[in-house]
Amino acid sequence: MDIMIGPEKSSLLRVMPRLVQIVRVLIRRKFLGALIGNRPWPPPQEVRETFEELGLAFLKFGQVLAMRRDLLPASYIDELELLHDQLPGMSIGVVRAAVETELGAPLKDLFSSFSTTPLAAATIAQVHEATMRNGRHVVVKVQRPGLDVLIATDIETLRYLVSLGERFFPRLRALDIPLMVYEFGKSLKRETDFGREARSIVLFRSALADLPDLWIPDVVAEYSGRTVLTLEFSPGERVDVYAKLHPEVIPRSISTLVRLMLQTIFEEGLFHADPHPGNIFVLPDGRLSLLDFGMTGELDEPMRESLILLLEAIIKFDARAVSEAYLEMAPMSELVNHATLLVDIKAVLYEIHRSNLAEVSIGDALDSLLRVGSRNGVRNPGEFFLLTRAFVILESLLRVLAPHHDYMESFREEIARLTAQHFSVERAKRKSTTLARELERLMNDAPGDARRVLRRIAEGNLGRVQAPSLEALGNQVSRNLERLTNTMAVAALIIGGSLLLIARLDGWLHLLGEAMVTIGFFGMIIAGVGALRGDRGR
């Protein structure tokens, strides 16, 4: 006789060993007493060792906490920062086996030299310095074995805990925590795919090629795979260490960091989601070197346009504009309390406005938006969570580099430049050309397609329903469709001409704008008169 086990019980059985392990670690490290309130928190070193012992997901969470100096005492932050690149390393035997399995050749045949001591040991992988047979100086990033199983187990454990929490605390459902767990799991899987990271590096190198103060190491494709990534060697030292020795050059570095973040977001739809100090080095010639592209995000064009309006509105403290841009970034939201959302956004902007400008944080503002949005029924897209995390980490880094520097001025300047570029006349012309082509295609194809479909309906070819009167209805729908396309063409002329006039250009562009607006208005009048005549005739 077979015993049937439901999906929920099966999930619990799978995660039970991990749950037991977590509880044992927390008890041994005396965390449970601190959570309940009966004991003081363990010392900083004990906290860091607890994160390390609990594994990958907790290590990543600890890295995020290490950047939030507003949440934890400095002693805990200093200890958690060691999670970035000072974890226990893999043995050279494990590294050799991983490289040889991935690249399909003995290590001695691939490299003329391969350091047995890692340059860095992080949560996902560790990095070794090496020299290729052709003399090229490289670093080899080797992934820790068994991460796929560990990630799947941790994410399933988190999902179970979240479902259990929502069952006993219904208020948690408004926070949409399952979506956050899902996105966290997806980001971890992306981070462990070195093939995806290699493609991201190529895209970022192309997008930031015009930044003279930035260098991104190139990928050695033939020596890379899903779990091994070989890159050009990047000499230098961590940016936070460099800042203490050369504080006079840090304002320039801050401008470079702000520009690379915003430029890739708004021009390419990409962003580096983990810009902590261990991923940014300063080369001997003073240029910044950006490393580790395992955690990146992508934004489509509509989301980028909404985001630039959102950031501009936050800087200007315009609550209504913030609300509109924010809701455009979360189009799947249906049951939103707009009035309450606007009130909560005003409260967020008020807290920002009353702060010292040097302490204003875009990352914290976005994080506050996520919280008030979830509270008011907004379904935040996953990329918004990742983008918020990126801004929080970047701004925390900027405060570490120059605590008294007004880095918001760099944000304002770059956003102003990108806004002017994003809504420039050239971009409007390209969009008008694209819109005109789509309208032309619609005007040419839609009436014929509509007639053919409606004729088939009238003839009963789309089912058993016979409807002789549908032919007349089809003609009416076709006429209405033609009116719609004509109206859209007229609107395109008026909008395009208005953009040219608003830009206050001289010469033929100004004349072109006036002509487009004039033709558009006359077209609107003609279309209206034609519609009235047609209605009266019928």
Tokens of 390: 């990126």
C-alpha to C-alpha distance for 378 and 372, rounded to whole angstroms: 8
Distance of CA 381 to the CA centre of its chain: 9
Cβ contacts of 255 within 8 Å, gap of 6 or more: 410
274 is catalytic: yes
Q: Is 284 within 8 Å of 260 (Cβ atoms)? A: no
C-alpha to C-alpha distance for 314 and 437, rounded to whole angstroms: 36
**Residue with the two structure tokens 């520097």:** 405
Give me the catalytic one of 274, 292, 344, 364.
Answer: 274
Other CB atoms closer than 10 Å to residue 369's CB: what's the count? 27
Phi, psi of 377, rounded to the nearest 5 degrees: 90, 10
C-alpha to C-alpha distance for 352 and 358, rounded to whole angstroms: 11
Cα separations (Å) of 502 from 24, 134, 295? 66, 59, 41
Tokens of 419: 């806004």
C-alpha to C-alpha distance for 366 and 306, rounded to whole angstroms: 13
Burial status of residue 92 (CB atoms within 10 A of its CB: 0-12, 13-18, 19 or more) = middle
Cβ contacts of 169 within 8 Å, gap of 6 or more: none
Calculate ∠ Cα 28-34-36, nearest 5°: 110
First to last CA, the chain: 75
Phi, psi of 140, rounded to the nearest 5 degrees: -115, 120
C-alpha to C-alpha distance for 148 and 407, rounded to whole angstroms: 39
**Residue with the two structure tokens 């907004």:** 378
β-pairing, 288-290 with 214-215?
parallel
> Which has the closest alpha carbon to 292: 145, 143, 191, 363?
191
Cα separations (Å) of 377 from 180, 234, 249, 335, 433? 15, 46, 45, 6, 38
Active site residues: 274
